[in-house]
Amino acid sequence: MSYKKRKAINKIMLFISILTFFIGAFFLFWILGDIFLKGVRYINFRMFLELPKPPGVPGGGIGNALLGTFILTLLASIIGIPLGIMVGVYVNEYGAGRLAWWTKFLAEVLTSFPTIIIGVFVYLVVVVPMKSFSALAGGIALSIIMLPIVAKAADESIKMVPISLREAAYALGVPKWRTILKVVIPSASSGIITGIMIAIARAMGETAPLLFTSLNNVYWSVSLTKPIGSLTVTIFNYATSPYDDWRHMAYASALVLVFIVLVLNIIARFYGGRKK
């Protein structure tokens, strides 16, 4: 292939790359701009503290949904983060042969698994035996979504820890389990934290699994065995309603959720930058 032909192909591919970037950025900023312009005017301090009101009644808020989202995310983090880190540690430090390969393969598959299927699975194994939707079921569903993301981040971060650090600890007589806890995981902490932040942001934005597990309610609730409100399901209910005031609240709630997810992604980028 001649130099001129290679140069022409390079320019064409560069143009296609730039074009696809601007197409993607256009739709992203279109969606974000629409949410901001239609939602910012309805945001006020009271909406963070009040319960939802019936259609046509002035006021109302998403206080219970914010509390429910926090509880669900906390439950999912308590379950998913330790398990994800343990999977990453096992694959790198203890795993060998086909079992380690299958563990990594299943984590990869679970990362791209439709979340609604996870919701149906948890519905069958948790909600049906309990005979009730619950915050616990919602937390379990979200933890399954978080687990492979944390596991992948832990796997890649632990791989980057120099073998010399492990060897130095072993030379001092430190057992392997303590070397992992005191040397390997702290050295990989920035990458693991990045994965955790991304996993939390992903879990907070999920709707479908919660429709099958925690459902929703319009009251203050901290019970783990009863249905609980969540920001995403509240947005879904408001957005699909025929009432203007509820649709306005949907835009305001969506803007709050976008802001939370944006902050979590900024934190993840910060720790990712420290890692590099």
Do 16 and 143 belong to one domain? no
Do 65 and 157 belong to one domain? yes
Give the pLDDT score at 149: 95
Domain membership of residue 23 as a residue range: 3-41
Do 74 and 24 belong to one domain? no
Per-residue pLDDT of the chain (276 residues; tens, 9 = 90+): 677 888 888 999 999 999 999 999 999 999 999 999 999 999 999 999 999 998 888 888 999 999 999 999 999 999 999 999 999 999 988 877 788 888 888 988 898 889 999 999 999 999 999 999 999 999 999 999 999 999 999 999 999 999 999 999 999 999 999 999 999 999 999 899 999 999 999 999 999 999 999 999 999 999 999 999 999 999 999 999 999 999 999 999 999 999 999 999 888 888 766 655
Do 142 and 259 belong to one domain? yes
Do 7 and 103 belong to one domain? no
Give the pLDDT score at 270: 81
Do 12 and 90 belong to one domain? no
Do 184 and 166 belong to one domain? yes
Largest CA distance in the chain: 72
Do 35 and 61 belong to one domain? no
Give the pLDDT score at 273: 66
Q: Tokens at residue 78, please?
A: 């308590």
Helix 98-111 / helix 135-159 crossing angle, nearest 10 deg: 120
Q: What is the CATH number of the domain that holds 188?
A: 1.10.3720.10
Do 238 and 266 belong to one domain? yes
Question: What is the number of structural domains in the chain?
Answer: 2
Give the pLDDT score at 56: 83
Task: Report DSSP letters for 166-204, one per residue.
Answer: HHHHHHTT--HHHHIIIIIHHHTHHHHHHHHHHHHHHHH
Q: How far apart are CA 186 and CA 179, in angstroms?
A: 10
Q: How far apart are CA 185 and CA 109, in angstroms?
A: 25
Q: How far apart are CA 57 and CA 59, in angstroms?
A: 7
Do 26 and 132 belong to one domain? no
Give the pLDDT score at 275: 53
Do 13 and 144 belong to one domain? no
Give the pLDDT score at 2: 77
Q: How far apart are CA 208 and CA 213, in angstroms?
A: 9
